[in-house]
Amino acid sequence: MRVFLNPGHAPDGNPDPGACGYGLRECDVAKNVADLVAGYLAAAGVEVVGCLQSDSLHEVVSASNNSDADVFISIHCNACNGAANGTEVWHFYGSGAGETLASCIQNQIVTSLGTTDRGTKGAKPGVNGLYVLSNTDAVAVLVELAFIDHEGDAELLGTQQDEFARAIARGVTDYEGEC
Ligand SMILES: [Zn+2]
């Protein structure tokens, strides 16, 4: 299985760091976690065919499609003015494989990190379609690790990046076992 990783937002936050909170920037958390995921997947014998962080979602989608990836994983942090917490994983609405992959990753993260389970969610094109889910050929998911502007979640995002990465990698291998 060929996996393409996409840490969300722009490299080093230029021009877009994503959400921020408690001294953390989404772009940095996502990049660190993605790099760790790449290492754990490689160690598990899963081929990582790309890891690209770019402000251009068109560039991200093209790179994934050109790499002939089977699985596409975008990594983000959520934010809601401190009013919400927890983990959610998005997939393309109506994609059974996407829902399975999303569930595998969601279950691993909430089990190992103890974050609130906000469930998996299907993104509908034109309604709440997320560009990278709608335009990638691979089975695609977008992982919202936790809320960067929530004190408890931010603590996890700051100190447990390795655990988040291990959980995502286990989710991918769980998915590989199911399909
Ligand atoms: Zn984001």
Report the chain (179 residues): mean pLDDT per 10 consecutive residues.
Answer: 97 97 98 98 97 97 98 98 97 96 98 98 88 96 98 98 98 92
CATH top class, domain 2-178? alpha beta
Give, in order, the Cα–Cα distances in Å from 54 to each of 29, 106, 159, 166, 177: 14, 24, 24, 23, 31
* 100 phi/psi in degrees, rounded to 5: -65, -50
- Which helix (DSSP H) or strand (DSSP E) does residue 27 occupy? helix 26-43
Nearest-CA neighbor of 109 among 51, 68, 156? 156
19 CA to middle of ligand 1, Å?
7
From CA 116, how far away is CA 131, in angstroms rounded? Answer: 26
β-pairing verdict for 117-123 and 87-92: parallel
Residue ranges per structural domain of the chain = 2-178
79 CA to middle of ligand 1, Å?
9
40 CA to middle of ligand 1, Å?
22
From CA 87, how far away is CA 115, in angstroms rounded? Answer: 6
From CA 5, how far away is CA 76, in angstroms rounded? Answer: 11
At residue 58, the pLDDT reads: 97
27 CA to middle of ligand 1, Å?
8
